[in-house]
Each structure stands twice: as structure tokens, then as C-alpha cells.
A and B are shown apart, each in its own frame.
Chain A
């Protein structure tokens, strides 16, 4: 379970996260929505420990990760997988080396790593022919799949996706959403997805809305279109008038 309590983060004078509270239950699939620049990515990076909050706590299975450093933080990274917005693949490595990097760096022989990498690559819908390609040779959707395959190598309990469908065509968006849902079910993982895409409501259990550094709404995804929350009402319909300026 992830419990975020009274989380605050500012960059200089700009307050990004303001007294944010959020609870994500085990195996829950939550989509976090909000306008661009609201600090959604900063929130995710605070959850995983990549950015230290100014105050507040992030409890993962009861352990406050904001107090952790070095090796203790590494354990959090093993528990939480993070899929980056633009995949963040290492551009000097092949797909095989990118996906198998943790095992290869641990000194496991490449021939022993290969079957596991192939298995992961197939699970995200890619073929063996992609293994020797470099990230620059892949399309946006393929990069995101490889990024997910790399994250899945650690079999994390919590999967965090930072805008996984940004810049993709509608067909690829649907495929990525289906892949996220399939992975969520197969891995029995807690899943947090940041998205601007209202299609995500068809896949998530719950939706949280971030506005001015706080969660202003959290409710079931299936009821979102009936929600009376004024922020949700304006945001999902893309209305110019409303509380969101």
C-alpha cells in the first residue's frame, strides 16, 4: 500500500506539491490526471524516491521512503518499477542490453540473460528481431514497450507509468493501455498511471485528479462521467470555463 501524507515540494518560489494526501491500496490501478505543469511527474518521482520532498511522508508498505538513502533506497527501487515518459532507454545500448541491464551488470552471462529478456520482450508484444536494435531504430510505441519490458525484469510490486501514451497515435495508445492492464493483472501489481488520455478510464479502477499541488478528487473510474466534482467535470470535458483556469 502507498500512503502519501501532507507531501510538500517547491522548486525555488514555485510550490509544486502542496499538502498532498493520497492512499493507493495494494493491487489498485489508479490513473492520475491533471493539467500539464501540475507536477504529476514530480509527484511520481517523490513516490519512488527520485526527488526528495520538502516535508511530508511517502509510506510504501508502512516504510517512509523519504527518510531512506543509498542501499535502503535501492530496495525501494526493486519494489517499485518506473516507466518513463520517453522510455529513457540507454541510447548506447541495444534493446537486449537495455532490458537485461540489471542482470548483465550483476555479472550474469549474456547467454543466460537472453531467454529471460526474450520472454519479457515477447510479453510486451515485441519480437526477437528487436533485440539487437538500438533505441534510435525504434518507434515511439516500441520504445515504451521496451521501457516496460526493462522495468518488468525486476518483477516489481508497484508499477508507475509517467504519461505512457504521450505522442502516440490512437491505435498505439489503445495497445499500450491494454498492455498496461494486462501487465497489471498478470503481475498482480499496484499500478499508478499518469495520463492526459481519457481512454485510461476504461482500464483503471480509480481516478485521482491533481490540481494546484493537491488531490482534489479520487473516485471509481467507472463513475467518472457521472461525477459532480467541478474539477473533474471541467477537465474530462475539456471545458474552458470552470474552477481550473
Chain B
């Protein structure tokens, strides 16, 4: 029993290391292609439209909902100490530094990264990827790099929209539903927040975009086993990307708190 458990843990560790190693090599290959070949700008813009523009509505909706919830919940706690004016600070900092980048990345993962994995996975199992290779087309340049660049570039914008929507909805709820004084609310926001809070959040979003798109492309690229394989790849891609967002968020928050 104990041996089986150790065996299981060992296997999991080996699989994790193999997967992480292969993903790293895949990503480094993509970076090498990005540096050494001409970027397909048209493909980048197409992907930015697909990943970004089509995700705006869902990002705004979730950002708005989170801003409103934050205002409500923080009011319940802060009201007991007569500190309602800090609702604005709390909503602003939470949205700019954490919820904006994290929530928009999670939404993009669910909407666009899953589709990215499914698309590349389907191309893989239907031999379209092999066909491109036989036509001497660089797979990284044609398929992978435009998607990674597009996601990395578009994520800060989506994060910013999510943040703004959250802050606006928090303001509306605090002022019109919870009767907080608007001047005091804004005063607290101005007093305790800095531009760096926004830039740190946007930097995080860019890094999340890079990570989730690399995971999405990699998982699609190693798809095997037909339609079922594409389904498994898509699910794994979303799970791994979401876990990576939270792990990366912790690491980045720790590093950014040092500066």
C-alpha cells in the first residue's frame, strides 16, 4: 500500500517534470522563432481580434460583477468600523492589482485559449500540421508565435477594461446603493492609490497572456487520439492555464511587493 503510494507520487512527479520540461522547450523554440524570423503581423492582428475583441464583453461583464460584489462585501466589514470611505481604495487596489489581470486571464482562458488548443489539436490529428511541415512552412512562425504574441499584447488591454469596469461598478454600488459619500470615496482612492498599482496589474496581465497562450498552443500541438484526444487536450489546457495563472500571480505579487 505504502509502496504503491510512493510509486504513484513518483510517477506523478516524473510526468510533471516531463511535461514542464517539454513545455519549456516548446516555449523557448517559439521565442527563438520570434527573434529569428519575420513576425506575421496580419496573423497577429487576426488573433488579437479573435482573442481580444471577441472576449471584451465577457471580461467587462465579469469585471463589473466583481467590482459590485467587492463594494458590497467590503461595505459590510468596513461599516462596522465607520471606514466606508475606504471602499473605493479597496475596490481600486483589488481590481487594478489582482482581479483585473486574474479574472480577465481566466475569462480569456475559458473563451479563447480553449478554442486555441482545440483548433491546433484538430489540425494536428487531421494531419494539417504535418501538411504545413511538408510544405516547408515553419509551424512556430505560422501557428504558434502569432497566437502567443497576440495574447501577450491583448491581455493588458483586457485587464485594463476589466479593472475600469470593476471600479466603475464598485463606485455606482457604493454611492447609489450603499449611500457612501462620493467625495470621501474619491478622496480615499486618490490618497492611497498610485499609478504603479495599474502598471503592475498590466504587467501581470501581459505575463499571464504569454503563459496561457504558450500552454494552450503546446497542449494543442501534442494532441493525439482523435476527437476524444482534442477534448482531453482542451480540458487539460484550461485546467493547467488556470492553475498557472494563480501560481504566477502569487510569484509576481511577491516579486512586485519587493519593488
* Co-assembled chains A and B: yes
Chain A residues within 8 Å of B, Cβ to Cβ: 45, 48, 50, 74, 77-78, 80-82, 84-86, 88-91, 101-102, 105, 147, 150-151, 154
Whether B128 pairs with A91 at a CB distance below 8 angstroms is: yes
* Interface stretch of the complex, out of B18-26, B78-86, B132-140, B247-255: B132-140
Question: CB-nearest residue of chain B relative to A70?
Answer: B138
Question: CB-nearest residue of chain B relative to A102?
Answer: B135
Chain B residues within an 8 Å CB radius of A102:
135-137
A82 to B130, alpha carbons, bound, how many Å? 10
Whether A154 pairs with B136 at a CB distance below 8 angstroms is: yes
Partner of B128, one of A82, A90, A154: A90
Besides A89-B131, A90-B128, A154-B135, 4 new A-B residue pairs in contact (Cβ under 8 A), listed by A number: A45-B130, A84-B131, A89-B128, A150-B131
Whether B127 pairs with A105 at a CB distance below 8 angstroms is: no
* Majority-rule SS of B interface residues: helix
Whether A82 pairs with B137 at a CB distance below 8 angstroms is: no
Q: Is B16 part of the binding interface, using a Cβ–Cβ cutoff of 8 Å?
A: no
Whether B131 pairs with A48 at a CB distance below 8 angstroms is: no
Q: Which 5 A-B pairs have the closest CB atoms?
A: A88-B131, A88-B127, A82-B134, A74-B136, A77-B136
Can you identify 10 A-B contacts, CB atoms within 8 angstroms?
A82-B130, A82-B131, A88-B130, A90-B123, A91-B128, A101-B135, A150-B131, A151-B134, A151-B135, A154-B136
Q: Is B126 part of the binding interface, using a Cβ–Cβ cutoff of 8 Å?
A: yes
Whether B134 pairs with A48 at a CB distance below 8 angstroms is: yes
Partner of A50, one of B123, B126, B128, B130: B130
B105-135 with Cβ < 8 A to chain A: 123, 126-128, 130-135
Chain A residues within an 8 Å CB radius of B126:
86, 88, 91
B64-90 with Cβ < 8 A to chain A: none
Whether B133 pairs with A50 at a CB distance below 8 angstroms is: yes
Chain A residues within an 8 Å CB radius of B127:
84-86, 88
B45 to chain A, nearest CB (A): 15
Give the contact-size bracket for chain B.
10 to 19
Partner of A77, one of B123, B134, B142: B134
Chain A residues within an 8 Å CB radius of B133:
50, 77
B31 to chain A, nearest CB (A): 16
A101 to B134, alpha carbons, bound, how many Å? 12
Whether B136 pairs with A88 at a CB distance below 8 angstroms is: no
Whether B142 pairs with A81 at a CB distance below 8 angstroms is: no
Question: CB-nearest residue of chain A relative to B43?
Answer: A105
Chain A residues within an 8 Å CB radius of B142:
105
Chain B residues within an 8 Å CB radius of A86:
126-127
Chain B residues within an 8 Å CB radius of A82:
130-131, 134
Partner of B137, one of A48, A85, A91, A101: A101
Interface centre among B132, B134, B137 (most CB of A within 10 A): B134
Chain B residues within an 8 Å CB radius of A77:
133-136
A177 to chain B, nearest CB (A): 22
Chain A residues within an 8 Å CB radius of B130:
45, 50, 82, 84, 88
Question: CB-nearest residue of chain A relative to B126?
Answer: A88
Chain B residues within an 8 Å CB radius of A88:
126-128, 130-131
Chain A residues within an 8 Å CB radius of B132:
90, 101
Whether A50 pairs with B137 at a CB distance below 8 angstroms is: no
A88 to B132, alpha carbons, bound, how many Å? 9
B116 to chain A, nearest CB (A): 13
Whether B131 pairs with A78 at a CB distance below 8 angstroms is: no
Chain B residues within an 8 Å CB radius of A78:
136
B224 to chain A, nearest CB (A): 11
A12 to chain B, nearest CB (A): 12
A154 to B137, alpha carbons, bound, how many Å? 12
A191 to chain B, nearest CB (A): 16
Whether A50 pairs with B134 at a CB distance below 8 angstroms is: yes
Partner of A81, one of B128, B134, B137: B134
